[in-house]
Structure 1
Amino acid sequence: MQLKTLKKLVELGGFIDMPNDEFEAMHPRFTAVNMYRKMCEREQKEFKKNLTVDNIGVALEVSYDDARTKYNK
């Protein structure tokens, strides 16, 4: 991924910016809610529970956990 794209994802709440232009993906449940919160701020909408957003995080959670623990099984 290009640095410009990664920095935009940080701005949108999708990644954590680390020192030396390194990036860390966050847990999908947190990422989905965080990106939704930032979208609400940009669009000046009330931030409240959104089951669709929650379900996106849940759907991605198993794949994320499998990838993070691939060698720990």
Structure 2
Amino acid sequence: MLKSYEATYENGQIKWLSEQPEINSARIIVTILEETKPQIKRRRFPIPDMAGKGKTLGDIVSPIVDEEDWECLKW
């Protein structure tokens, strides 16, 4: 049976982050996760040529199509 444990490796030493396995000897597979730099989210801006040209069609709260025209399954 395979079981996963989380640990860090620093200067040749394994430091367990959660429970430590209670075993004397085992075959292990090590997966190295590269440290990622925090990504900076850039704010997106609209194209200046499009500014003020959008239109809202109908009521933004109510659907444009009548409920009777919806193709829904009724339980």
Q: TM-score, normalised by structure 1?
A: 0.16
Name the structure where helix makes up a greater proportion of residues: 1
- Bigger Rg, structure 1 or 2: 2
Instruction: Name which structure has the greater RCO, CA cutoff 8 Å, separation 6+.
Output: 1
